[in-house]
Amino acid sequence: MRPFRIQSWAAAVSLAGACTLAGPASAPAAPNRAALDYVALGDSYSAGVGAGDYLPEGASCLRSSRAYPALWASTHASSFAFAACNGAKTGDVLTKQLGALSGRTNLVSVTAGGSDASWAKVMGICALPGTKTCLNAIDAARSYVDRTLPANLDRLYSGIRGKAPRARVVVLGYPHFYQLHGTCTRGLEDTERAALNAAIDHLDGVIAQHATGHGFAFADARTAFGGHEICSAGPWLRSVEVLDLTESYHPNASGQSLGYLPLFTRAA
List the catalytic residue out of 232, 250, 254, 257.
250
- CA distances 188 to 128, 136, 185, 199, Å, are 9, 14, 9, 15
Which is catalytic among the residues 44, 64, 78, 115? 44
Give yes or no: 44 in active site: yes
User: Active site includes 158?
Assistant: no
CA-closest candidate to residue 61, choices 127, 115, 21: 115
Beta bridge mates, 39: 81, 108
Contact between 6 and 73 under an 8 Å Cβ cutoff? The reply is yes
Distance CA 84, CA 110 (A): 8
- For residue 252, the 8-state DSSP code is -
Distance between CA 85 and CA 89 in Å, rounded? 9
Query: d(Cα 145, Cα 143) in Å, to the nearest integer?
Result: 5
Q: CB–CB of 63/4 below 8 Å? A: yes
> CA-to-CA distance for 179 and 227, rounded, in angstroms?
7
The residue type of 81 is: A
Residue 143 vs residues 68, 130, 152, 165: alpha-carbon distances, Å: 30, 20, 14, 32
| Active-site residue set | 44, 250
